[in-house]
Amino acid sequence: MATAGEIEIVRYDDRYRDQSMEVLRKSFFLFEMVCIGSEVNLTPQAQRDLEQLCLDVANAGVSLVARHIPTDTVVGVSFNVLQTPSGPEDSNYFEQFRDTKCTTDSSRALMQYMITMDAKVNLFERFGVSCLLEIMFLATLPDYGGCGIATRLVQESVRLAEDIKAGKAAPSTQDGASSASTKPQLVSALFTSRISQRVGEKAGFTVINQVPYTEFVYKDRPFTDRIGPDHPFSTLVVKHI
């Protein structure tokens, strides 16, 4: 069990690549509810597809890792993405990834879950914002569960969004500067388990939508068949900054 003082939250960079992928492989892909519902947990190629998604979004410079200082080990990750509205005829980032980079039905089903959840509430219209930071994939190594690492990753993601909005930090852009279109006014997340939903409550997020897993189907079976009764729904949550 790690103490709070042994864990630091830092911005992702390439030196953390391999260890961050290991966190996904040992935690997120195996135990996250939508990964279970869409059989990503059973499909190594789907996991590789989604690793590529994380590496792609990490290039934007708004993802975070939790580092265990005594062992210099990455023990938690928050892969975050800055989102801006897409035009009515344009595919959004997740749709483009689903259509061009997903090579399995399983990874496409997970992406479709994210697309469907995002489409149920247009956060840009509802809150009158032009940019938001989405906490996309949040995970902690099983051995470090219960240490508050996920809560700190979420809190620091909010703080990073606030700093970008205030001009104190910048995402990675072509010219190294943050334009008005990349300054988030809102932080959002899809929390898919009772555990992550409690993290969102601790971090002061507001539930905007709650959708039962019976609505999502993979291979003619609802996600609930694989997830079980303990985590019956996922939530869309937001926090104003």
With a cut of 90, say whether residue 140 has pLDDT above it: yes
Phi and psi based region of residue 139 (left: phi greater than 0; alpha: psi -120 to 50; beta: remaining): beta
Q: Is the pTM of this model over 0.75?
A: yes
Domain that holds residue 109: 7-240
CATH of the domain at 103: 3.40.630.30
Domain for residue 223, yes or no? Answer: yes
Instruction: Say what the pLDDT of residue 62 is.
Output: 97
Domain for residue 202, yes or no? Answer: yes
Beta strands 206-212; 233-240: pairing state: antiparallel
Q: What angle do CA 102, 107, 111 make, to 5 degrees?
A: 90
Domain for residue 114, yes or no? Answer: yes
Domain for residue 1, yes or no? Answer: no
With a cut of 50, say whether residue 174 has pLDDT above it: no
**Location of structure tokens 């409550």:** 201
Q: Give the Cα separation of 116 and 121 in Å (integer).
A: 9
Q: Give the Cα separation of 7 and 153 in Å (integer).
A: 11
Q: Give the Cα separation of 39 and 201 in Å (integer).
A: 28
With a cut of 90, say whether residue 96 has pLDDT above it: yes
Instruction: Say what the pLDDT of residue 175 is.
Output: 40
Domain for residue 210, yes or no? Answer: yes
Domain for residue 2, yes or no? Answer: no
With a cut of 80, say whether residue 192 has pLDDT above it: yes
DSSP annotation of 28 reads I
Counted domains in the chain: 1
- The whole-number average pLDDT for the span 153-158 is 98
Q: What is the pLDDT of residues 18-68, one digit of tens each?
A: 999 999 999 999 999 999 999 999 999 999 999 999 999 999 999 999 999
